[in-house]
Amino acid sequence: MPFDRSHISTGLPGLDQVFTGLRAGDNVVWQVDSLDDYAAFVAPFCQWARSNGRRLIYFRFAKHRPLCEPSAAEVREVSPEAGFEAFITQIHDVIEEVGEDAFYVFDSMSDLSLERISDRMLGNFFVLTCPYLFTLNTIAYHVLLRNYHSFHASSPIAQTTQILVDVYNLRGQLYLHPRKVQHRYAPTMHMLHVWVGDDFRPVTESYITTEVLAQAPWASSTAGSGRVGPWTRTFQEAHAMLRAAERGQATAKQVDEARALTRRIGITRDERLAELADRYLTLEDILRIRQRILPSGLIGGKAVGMLLARRILNDQSARWATVLEPHDSFYIASENFYTYLVQNHVWLLRQQQKNSEKFLDGAAEARQRMFMGTFPEYMKERFQNMLDYFGNSPIIVRSSSLLEDAYGNTFAGKYDSVFCANQGPRHIRVDEFLQAVRRVYASSMSEEALIYRKERRVLHKDEQMALLVQRVSGARNGSLYFPHVAGVALSHNPYVWDKSIDPHAGVMRMVFGLGTRAVDRSDDDYTRVVALNAPTKRPEPSFDDVRRHAQRRVDVLDLETNQLASYDFVDVARRCPDLPLPMLASRDEELVRRAAERGQETFPWVLTFDQMLEKTAFAADMREMLHVLQEAYGSPVEMEFTLNFLHDGSYRINLLQCRPVTMALDGPFERPDRSHLGPEDIVMEARGAVVGQGRSAIIDRVIYVSPAAYSRLGDGQRHEVASVIGQLTRARDRGPAPAIMLLGPGRWGTSTPSLGVPVSWKAISPVSVLCEIVAMHADLVPDVSLGTHFFNGLIEMEILYVAVFPRGKDSLNVDYFERAPNRLATVLPDASRWAEVIRVIDPAEGAGAPRLHLCADPMDQSFLCYLKRG
């Protein structure tokens, strides 16, 4: 029969009078000291629903005794074990299935494991679920333990629910105190009521009211109340346990249990990172970390990696305490991100990520909302306090998501990190910081990040964004702020350009100034690549080549303009007279001689880092650090670092980040018999750079961009070519995905079309082999990009990288690529007008056609691509 929404009852007529009746859409939250007190209200509610033919759903998920019998309600069991995201999705799926006008009873959220539903996430649950139930005209009963949860749960619950009631039990007598009854009013509604028989009578005597309410601690509704929830309480109890152990009043087992719990709720739940954390982080370490967590939740993968690496090194040797620069980082925990999504109405848009067919739908709108979002006042207050601690020191806001820097998924370069010069009045610095947080949060919904998640098959996983806030390592030089050296180091060197180089010793990519030029693929400059067992050996054969390929631009924080800036090295060096230039650069005596012959003065320094590598233990320190970390992680690792020289000539290394790298190391593979190959069979041969896993393979398709034709195009046309390449690499014109070799002039993925083809990472990721032909202009050399986000993408996708110097020692059979049948118009008919520039070659096309094979040996820095007939 039709639902009569004009008459809905609690099952207790006297209580109906207190509330002036229940209304369709009401969520009723009961705050109790004992679930037995709550059960007294649930039983008549269920009886009324059953007697009046209403559909009653009981969500069962806690460990306490059942609140409804199966005969009284439809019991739907949901599991919180898979995490908050899966838990709330299960509940919402049931609500959607049941539809309008249903009645609901929920188990106690307070009974759930803290590891699954923390206070912040509990608040998010109500913000998302109560409005949903309201729109479906339901009635829902929820229960929480009073004064058990912090402001971060109680405030959003109070704001979201329609009815909020406190229940007290004094000597067996139940009292009821309505705290909120939305859109209803009666003169005695918000007074304390006593339950007598069938009536709920207002308590008019002050002494009774005082006696009842005084038995429970006063709970302020403000953030500064000092009332703590279970997350904070757990850390307080762990701290007490540690102090008790020091007095001999707690066992080692009890301390270890406290350590394990605090690790799970504050550090990480990732299985492999948790194993490392359990091995190296003590309870005292975790409690120290907690002091800098704002305000609750997990600190994310990047923060975990940095902290673990430092702990591992300090456990290995006390010497590292004198080598490593200390840090004073803060951690904006992951649950703040979820709250930000909920409060800025992004959560539903973000849910579409989980659908692999529609995962980009709504992403642009979500990013826009996140860029324009607002923060709760209590969070802004926490941020202000943190900025007061840092004063005017520059800081960096770095992504530290739950999945980031984990085994198998680095997310390198997929999320933003934002420098804050942190200058000026407090309100300006706060605004700058808030905008940095918004930008990092919004980057979680970037197309590149979402595509990466799909390719790594982690779209379905809970990906919350924590933030790592670090003081920028370096020093102020006039109005510029930067470190002397920054870079990235890998424990395994995949670029062995000389027989004397040991790949197991590791490799560094380093720059002068901020490390942005080391981790991002810079189109307008070069970096120093250092093999750690032979730090003075360079790929360049002469100083002329060294000069040509030395770093020319320096990234700094300009404290006058309050922004990240890039300046010529010469200008920076002249503005900063206190730099230890002899350690960082070499005098170019040839340049000095030529200038003297012309009667001119010149700046004689070239950034080489030679003296630093020859005269200090820096390279040896880095090699040992990487070795220790690789042993602990059980896999190759990548580390971001800075180095600063002190006035006495010593140095300090700041370990900024450490993550495991999924790097397939070379194994045996088949090599061709050169005696069976004629000159006409050799399609391409290169002697470096060859980066990736050694392999012998068959190429199904070649996508070749003609250097000659491409060089005649304008920049706009070159961007169009890049777009066509992206369509081709993902085209499936027949059968399964082909093994693709992408071959073209200059740097793939450049942002400068004059230097190469400006394709996106989305276009590059499906290919098997990426070849760069050094043919754009005479000065262009390939940048192997070791340690950059671009390089990490190649490694993770197991893409082989090859640079070809057709004018030098390498060979390139241009006739083969220019004369082979071009299938561009067949594969992509709309792109046929680009047939002169782009050639799509399927080598085995036609009966009896030879197949295109390749053999790549990174250890020998050799690459051979050849036709195998018969």
Nearest to 343 by CA among 163, 120, 135: 120
pLDDT of residue 714: 94
* Beta carbons of 75 and 106 less than 8 angstroms apart: no
Q: How far apart are CA 632 and CA 629, in angstroms?
A: 5
pLDDT of residue 668: 61
- Taking CA atoms, 505 is separated from 7, 103, 626, in Å, by 78, 66, 8
Q: How open is the CA angle 865-868-869, to the nearest 5 degrees?
A: 150
Q: How far apart are CA 81 and CA 112, in angstroms?
A: 10
Q: How far apart are CA 619 and CA 612, in angstroms?
A: 9
- One-letter amino acid of 101: D
* Beta carbons of 42 and 67 less than 8 angstroms apart: yes
What sign does the CA torsion over 51, 52, 55, 59 have? negative
Nearest to 767 by CA among 713, 716, 840: 840
Q: How far apart are CA 390 and CA 769, in angstroms?
A: 47
Q: How far apart are CA 73 and CA 63, in angstroms?
A: 18
Edge-to-edge strand ranges of the sheet holding 701-705: 690-691, 800-804, 769-773, 740-745, 701-705, 838-841
- Taking CA atoms, 293 is separated from 265, 297, 307, 334, 372, in Å, by 12, 8, 13, 10, 25
| SS3 call for 248 | coil
**CA-based end-to-end distance of the chain:** 79
Nearest to 379 by CA among 349, 418, 422, 342: 342
pLDDT by 10-residue block (mean), the chain, 870 residues: 70 94 95 94 94 94 91 91 86 95 95 78 93 96 90 86 94 92 85 92 79 66 54 92 94 95 94 95 95 91 96 96 91 93 90 81 91 92 86 91 86 88 89 97 90 83 92 89 94 81 90 89 77 87 77 93 94 93 91 82 89 96 98 94 92 94 65 81 85 85 93 93 93 77 88 86 87 64 56 73 81 90 92 94 76 86 84
pLDDT of residue 786: 55
Residues 6+ apart with CB under 8 A from 226: 220
> pTM here?
0.79
Strands (E), 319-393: 330-332
- Taking CA atoms, 157 is separated from 88, 131, 452, 564, 869, in Å, by 16, 11, 35, 41, 73
* Beta carbons of 105 and 62 less than 8 angstroms apart: no
Q: How far is CA 646 from the centre of its chain?
A: 33
Tens-digit pLDDT profile for residues 553-567: 999 999 999 999 999
Helix (H) and strand (E) counts in the chain: 31, 36
- Cis? peptide before 689, omega within 30° of 0: yes
Tens-digit pLDDT profile for residues 640-667: 999 999 889 999 999 999 999 876 555 5
pLDDT of residue 781: 44
| SS3 call for 201 | strand
CA dihedral 803, 805, 810, 814 (to 10 degrees): 100
On the 0-12 / 13-18 / 19+ scale of CB atoms within 10 A, 479 is: middle
pLDDT of residue 220: 41
Tens-digit pLDDT profile for residues 440-486: 999 999 888 888 888 888 888 888 999 999 989 988 888 999 999 99
Residue 467 has which token pair?
């933030």
Residue 166 has which token pair?
């406190």
